[in-house]
Structure 1
Amino acid sequence: MTDERPETRRGGARKVLGSIVVDTRPLKIPAYRRLWVSTAVTTVGSQLTAVAVPKQVFDLTGSSGFVGLTGAVALVPLIVFGLWGGAIADTVDRRKLLLVTNIGIAVVSALLWLQAFLDVGSVWLVLVLLGLGQAFFAMNMPTRSAAIARLVPVELLPSAVALGSTMAQFGAVLGPLLAGALLPVLGLSTLYLIDTVALGLALLAVYRLPALPPLNGPSRRAGLRDILDGFRYLAAQKILLASFLVDIIAMVAGMPRALFPEMAERTFGDPPGGGAALGWLYAAIPVGALACGLASGWLSRIGRHGVGVTIAIGVWGLAIIGFGLSNSLWLAVFFLALGGAADFVSMVFRSAILQAAATDEMRGRTQGVFTVVVAGGPRIADVTHGWAAAGVGTAAAASGGGLLVILVLVVAVIAIPAFWRYRAPTAAR
C-alpha cells in the first residue's frame, strides 16, 4: 500500500515544485544574500536611468541621431574599463572595489538628478555623465560576478547565477514599464533620484560583505600587462575561449533588436509615431528570460554544461528564424520570448563555466571579458542587422541571422570538441 497521508502528499508536491522553480539555496548563505540584495535593489533603479538618459537626450536635441550616440558613448568606457576593471578585481580586495565603484555610480546618478532638476539643458553634460557612469559600472560588474565563486560552493554556482540573472531580467521588464508610468507623474529628474536612493541603500548590503582579498598574495597595481596576461590565459583555455565564442556567434549573428522599429511599423501595423507592437517586441526577450529564471530549478541538476550551452544557442537560432518569418505580432513575440528563455539557459551555464573553470587570480579578468562580450555583441549586431535589412529586408535579415547562428555554432563545436564534452566539476567527480 502507498502512503497517502496528507503530509506525504505535501512533501512530494514540495519536492516536485522545488525541482522546477528557481533554486533559492544560495540565499541561505548570508554573504551571497547580501550581494544578491544589493543587486536586486539597484536593478530596477538602474533601468529607470537607462530610460531617462535617452529620453532626456531626445528632449534636449529632438534628434534620434543623438539618442544613437548614447550607445557609442556607453560602449567605449564599457570596453576599456570592463577589461581594466577585471584586472583590478584580481589584484585588490573585491569588497573594497565594489564599495568604490558603487559609490561612483551613485555620485554620477546624483549628478544626473541635479542637472535635470536645475534644468541645465546641456546634452554634452548628460553624455559625459553617462560615460563616467558606464566606466564605474564596467568595473563593478566583473568584480561583482567574480565575487560569487568566493561566496558559494561550486555545486551552487549555476543556482547563484540564475538567481542574479532572474533579478536582472525582472528589472529589464519592470524598470521600463515603471519609468513610463512615473515620467508623466513625477517627472524625468525624479527617475534619477530614485536610482540614487536605491544605490545608497545597496551600499549598506555591500558594506556588510566579508573581505575578499586576492588568494594569490598581497595586492599590486593592475596595468596593461595584467590585461594582456588575461588574454593569454584565455587563449590557452579552450573551454573558456569557446564559451565566449559561442556567445559572440549567438549575439552578433542572431540579435535582431535593430529591426524592431521597422518591423513594428511595416510588418505589425504600428502607427508612425510608435505603438504597442514596438513595446512588445522590446519586452519579449526579457519576458522569456524572466519566465525561464523563475522556473530554473532544474538547471542545477544538469552537469553537462557544454551540451547545455550548445543546445540553448541552437534553440535561440531556431527562435530567431521563427521570429523573422512571423507575420503575426503574437507569434513574433512568442518566438522572441522562446529565444529569451534559451539565452537565459545559455547565460547561466556559460557563467557557471567561467566561475568554475577560471582560477581565482584570473576570474576578474575573465569576467571583464565576459562583460564586454555580453554588452558589445548586441551593439555590433545592431550595425550588421541594420545594414542587412537595408539590402534584403527585415524578414530575410532576421531569419538569415538565425540560420547563420546554427551553422556557425555547429562549426565551432566541431572545431572545439572539448567544449561539447565539458562537465561541471561536481558532475565530473
Structure 2
Amino acid sequence: MSGRKIPMSGIAGIALTLALVSNAFAADVSELGNSLTPVGAERAGNADGTIPAWTGGDVTPVSGWKTGDPRVDLYANDAKLFSIDASNVDQYADKLSPGQIAIIKRYDGYRMDVYPTRRSCGYSQEIYDATKANVGRAKLSEKGGILEGHGGFMFPLPENGLQAIANFRTAFNGKHTKLTVHITTSQTGGSFSHDIGVIDTYSPYYEKNAREIDDYYMTKFIYKQIAPAASVGGIIMTLQPYDDSNESWVYIPGLRRVKKAPTANYDTPGKDDIRTFDQTYMYNGLPDRYDWKLVGKKELYVPYNASRLRTENLDIDSLITDKYPNRDMARYELHRVWVVEATVKDGWRNTFSKRVFYIDEDTWTPLVADLYDTKGKLWRFQENHIFMASEIPACVSAGDFYHDLNADRYVADNLVVKSADANYTAEDIVDNDFFSPDSMRRYGRR
C-alpha cells in the first residue's frame, strides 16, 4: 500500500520559538481572508523578512502546460542561501526538529540545502468558501471522527490538537486522482526493493453534496501492483469512514478472491516492515488512540516547492542512495508550522508512544514528523516534500520519506517517474462506483 506515530513530556534538546496559542484561539471568522489567509494561516510575513507575506499562491497554471507535461519549476533560478550539515547543525537547531538534527548527525554527507521561502500554496475559491462555512458548523466525535462539515478545511481557527489533525485529514489535494507511483525500500546491506503501483483516489468529502453521495466514507483509495513481476495484480482498497477506523480489502491474484483485511490499520506493520499502516501519508486513519496537543507555532526549515522531483523523468537510481535520498534533489525553505503532539492514551498501546507533527500553516499538511518508541527515544523520522499543482489547485506530495534511525533503513514513497503518470484532475477516469469489492474483482482480472 502506498500512501502516510510517537515519552518525553515535551520536545527535548531544542528551543522552540512558539507563538502563543491563545492568539490563534482569539481569532474569529472575520479574520479569514484578511489578517489570516482563507485557510487560517498568518497572511503577513515574519519580522525578519525571511518568510514573506502570502499573496494567494501560484494557482494559475503555466501558460501552455497540460496534464502529462513535465512540471515547470517556477523557482529553478533561485540561488541556494546556505546548507545545513553536521558542521553547522547546532547553529540552526532552534529551527529544526529533533529528527532533522538526529539524521544530519547520524549520516555522513546528509545536508539540507536552504532556498528563499516561497509561499506558493493556494486553493480554489470553492475550497475557501467551504472552509469558511465550516467555522461554527464543523463537529468531531469523541474519537476524532467527522460528524459535521465537508468540502474544505474543518477548523481554520483550531482550538486544540484534535482539530488541527482534522484539518490535515481533510486537507485538499485533489478530488479524483490517478497516479503511477514508485516505492523503494532499503534493505540491510545496501540493496533496495522497488515496487510500482497505480493509485486511484476519490474524496466525496469535497463534493458540495458530499453526504448525499456517500454519508459513510469520506475518502476512497485503491492501489494495484504492476511491478515487480512476482507481485503483479495484487490490489488493496482502503476506504476511510467519517467516524470509524479505515476499512480495507485485498485482492490476491492467485486465489482470484477479494478478502476483508481487518488488520490493515493503526500500527500494523506494512509490507516494507519499517513502516506501519498509519505512518503512510505521514499519518492516516482515525486519531482515536492518541491525545492530541496543539503546542503552538514555530519557524522550521521544511521540504517545500519540490517541483524538481517532477520536472523531468525521475531517475530512481540517482535519487535513491544507501542511507537517504540524493541531497541534490531536496529543497528546504523556512516556513511557519503548527507543532502538534500525539501521545498514546491511557489504556491503549501503539508502536510509537508519541509522535510530533510539524504542520505547514498554508496547507495543514505535516511536512516533518518525529516518532518516539515506548521508552521515549527518537526512533523514526518522516518528511513530506510538497509542490504546487496549479491545475487542482493545491499543494501535493512529490515524495515522502520514512526513516528508521535504528535500523538505518528508509522507504521512499509516492515517487512519479513519468509526468504522464500523474493525473490530479481525473474526474473522467475515476468514479465512485470503482471503489467496491466487486469492482476490485473485475479490476484484478484485467
TM-score (norm 2): 0.25
Whose strand fraction is larger, Structure 1's or Structure 2's? 2
| Bigger RCO of structures 1 and 2 (CA < 8 A, at least 6 apart) | 1
